[in-house]
Amino acid sequence: MCTLLVLFAWFGSGNDGWTWATASRVPVTSILTTTAPGRRNPPVGSAAPIESGEDVTVTKRLGVMGGTFDPIHHGHLVTAEEALCQFALDEVVFVPTGRPWMKTEREVTPAEDRYLMTVIATSSNPRFSVSRIEVDRPGPTYTVDTLEQIRVEAKGPVELFFVTGADAMLEIFHWKDPEEVLARAHLIAATRPGYDLTRFETEAPTAHPNVSVMHIPALAISSTDIRRRVEEGEPIRYLVPEGVQTYIEKASLYRRPA
């Protein structure tokens, strides 16, 4: 079983979802379905020789982490790293939303700012990348369209794993073509110990083989709270990567109107 030193993570409740965790070393397992099996290396000497002309194409296991990332913080990064470990992913691509049709209750920071903050936050991890698919797409963005475009643009065969929070995943089933989303990717719902799964078990297709739950211990720090702290002049150091904090300051994001 893969074990990770979790410093901060949880993509849980609230409009923005993500919150982050206190440090602890924990195995993360699905409580609703069996975690998607990872690839295991065969014992030394057990692999059969490759015949000349044999097709040795390997299917890439690609995590897709969608979100507003307004702003991105350490919780997103640790959850992505945990998904890499627990689901034996090759890499994770972060997909900042362009114009999220669900978030009508507040003004969302311009997509270009959210994209650049995500690039800054993920730049030090060679297995993380950032896609402009939704940023550059005109009109409202839908997960089903994004997954299809990622699959089409992938170089070679690819298996997709869509990483999001348990609450946010419930919204998926009210999005465009939810059955198509389930057909295109394995859905990983990130949550924390103590999270009330009653609603999730009731509304989500928990028996579906393409739905898994990933537990991450959490302390309730969210993007919503980070925006509030900036607006009220409170510190956000150690809540977001240093480069993201610098960007927020230089771009004057989340400040109270003069």
The pLDDT value recorded for residue 41 is 42
Give CA–CA dist 66/97, Å, rounded: 7
- Give the 3-state secondary structure percentages of the chain, helix then strand then coil, rounded to 5: 30, 20, 50
- Ranked by mean pLDDT, which of 19-33, 162-176, 240-254 comes out on top? 240-254
Its pTM surpasses 0.85:
no
- Alpha-carbon dihedral angle through residues 97, 100, 104, 106, given to the nearest 10 degrees: 10
Does residue 43 sit within a domain?
A: no
Q: pLDDT tens across 90-122, in order?
A: 999 999 998 766 555 678 999 999 999 999 999
Does residue 40 sit within a domain?
A: no
Does residue 139 sit within a domain?
A: yes
Crossing angle of the two packed helices 111-122 and 242-251, in degrees rounded to 10: 150
- Alpha-carbon dihedral angle through residues 138, 128, 205, 170, given to the nearest 10 degrees: -50
Q: Average pLDDT, whole number, for the chain?
A: 79
CA dist 203 → 170, 171, 200 (Å):
7, 10, 5
Does residue 116 sit within a domain?
A: yes
Question: Looking up tokens 């009731």, which residue turns up?
Answer: 202
Give CA–CA dist 154/122, Å, rounded: 20
Q: pLDDT tens across 167-225, in order?
A: 888 877 777 688 899 999 999 998 876 677 787 778 777 678 899 989 876 556 789 99
Domain count across the chain: 1
Q: What is the CATH classification number for the domain harbouring 16? A: 3.40.50.620
Length of the chain in residues, anyone? 258
Does residue 258 sit within a domain?
A: no
Does residue 225 sit within a domain?
A: yes
Does residue 128 sit within a domain?
A: yes
Beta bridge partners of 65: 94, 163
In terms of residue numbers, what domain contains 167? 3-35+57-251
For the chain, the farthest-separated pair of C-alpha atoms sits apart, in whole angstroms, at 71
Asked whether the CA dihedral 75, 231, 14, 118 is positive or negative, the reply is negative
Does residue 188 sit within a domain?
A: yes
